[in-house]
Amino acid sequence: MGFNSFTFILLFLPALLAGWFILNRSNLNTVADAFLVLMSLYFYYSFGVSFVIILLVSIAVNYFLSFLITRAKDNTTKFIKVFGVLFNLGLLFYFKYLGFFVDNINAIAKSGIQIKEILMPIGISFFTFGQISFIVDRANGEAEHYNFLEYAMYTVFFPKLIQGPIAFHKEMIDQFRDKTRRQFNSEVFVKGVSSFIIGLSKKVLLADTLSSVVNYGFKYTFYLDTITVIMVMLAYAFQIYLDFSGYCDMANGVSLMLGFELPDNFNSPYKAATAKELWQRWHMTLSRFFIKYVYIPLGGSRKGKARTIINVLIVFILSGLWHGAGWTYICWGLMQGLLVVFNDIGIVGIKSEERKSRFLFRDKPLFMVPRSVGNAVTFFLFVVSLVFFRSQDMAYAFGMFRRLFFFTYPGFLFKTSENLKIAENYVFRQLFSQLGMNGAVTGVLVATFIIFLLICAFIMTRKNTKEIVNEAVYSKKRLIGLAILFVLSFISLSNVSTFIYFQF
């Protein structure tokens, strides 16, 4: 039961909102909290009962460790912190990385170790990192020992549970304690509905439509020509952008409907002019987690320039591993780290930002380029890096690169374009077939594919959803537009796929 499902929209969400506001209006705040926790657990239960058990065990252990910290002395507190971090990382390692680790041991040692297939709980990376942040902050004296219901609500709050953002305990629990947020606010509620509808349309109408083309292209990598590779790579860049930003919009929308605000997690990253800026805009809560709990403890930029570069690369390699257990993800993370290091060295700078830029080896960059050039180069390099991110293994990734950089043209673009399953394609194909103009079908399908990509590019250069929602004046015309957008998305729900970040 994802956000993009009939069950969620028609049954779960209305029941949740009705119960939440009725209980709070009756001043039954504790009961309302328990209701929200149970509904969040039911939401997670829809993905698998075993997942709920694992989540509850994780919550119980971390909360017990928090209780022990209240009675522990300094040395014991350090031990509890280490144990807590290792417990959470161990849980993550077992479900997400054990198979990858064993496969590499077998490859290196020529052994034949066999393990049963382990089903990874959805969202384990997100709720595990959230609890690591809590345990570390507790041990460092930066977090109180919340009551169990507050802690459970923070951990299982369903809008952020399975795909983030990685919210810190204080920024959510402070909101849960604010009674004014429990009162129905029509203005905030309408913003939430608007954000949800925009996110749903991004996912259903755009990202899912592109997914069939992307899946086809990366499945038949070794048959593609250079032009088709470019089109498939662009399609994936737009798909993952719209998929993740669509989820963030929906999560923010549902949270606003309940009266709460999630931390910003996605801020038009394709508008970035450098790789460093891109990671200040994409998955922002993951970046701040790594900065606070990995980069700074490693020494940050305080231990010399060489150590700073190493720390940056460590963070990005870990970020790659966080996204998936595979060498393709590690290479993707390393490539992003190297691009950020290149930005930090100070060879190239952005003209509009020379005053606020800081570099490791120079006061001023050697070359200055306009922001538009930086934006184009940053986007191109990110799209190239996504070949690692999406390919099923390294052989497929290098196969895609060979076809990208060594020009071939066997004419595979037509077959790839056929997978863009939108009504217009079907109508045009039938029309030209009836007129005996089958040769024109090829051009129409390819043109439709290109136009669809241009539409996606146009959407991503406009204001983002948060800006639109906050600045909107809800006139009758705008409400009708949102209603039409919702209807179009709703009738397309039968064709939806899961969110890309579910696998992380």
Tell me the β-bridge partners of 350: 369
> Going by C-beta distance under 8 Å and a sequence separation of 6 or more, which residues neighbour residue 347?
365, 366, 367
Angle (CA) 327 393 117, round 5°: 80
CA distance 181 to 173: 12
CA distance 23 to 18: 8
Measured in degrees and rounded to the nearest 5, phi and psi for residue 349 equal: -130, 165
293 burial class (0-12, 13-18, 19+ CB within 10 angstroms)? middle
Chain centroid to CA 318: how far?
A: 16
Tell me if residue 261 falls in helix, strand or coil.
coil
For residue 282, what is the DSSP state?
A: B
CA distance 210 to 242: 10
Tell me the β-bridge partners of 368: 349
CA distance 276 to 305: 17
- Tokens of residue 126, six digits: 């997100």
Q: Which helix (H) or strand (E) holds 58?
A: helix 49-71
Query: Catalytic site residue 323?
Result: yes
Tell me the β-bridge partners of 125: none
CA distance 222 to 398: 10
Pair 388, 331: CB distance under 8 Å: yes
CA distance 18 to 46: 20
- Nearest residue to 500 (alpha-carbon basis) of 239, 118, 231: 239
Give Cα separations from 433 to 15, 58, 418, 461 (angstroms): 49, 59, 15, 37
CA distance 307 to 305: 5
**Residue whose entry in the numeric block shows the structure tokens 């959803």:** 465
> Going by C-beta distance under 8 Å and a sequence separation of 6 or more, which residues neighbour residue 60?
none
Largest separation between any pair of C-alpha atoms in the chain: 84
Tell me if residue 313 falls in helix, strand or coil.
helix
- Nearest residue to 251 (alpha-carbon basis) of 187, 181, 130, 167: 167
Pair 313, 338: CB distance under 8 Å: yes
Give Cα separations from 6 to 195, 251, 252, 256, 491 (angstroms): 18, 16, 19, 20, 10
Which residues belong to the active site?
Answer: 323
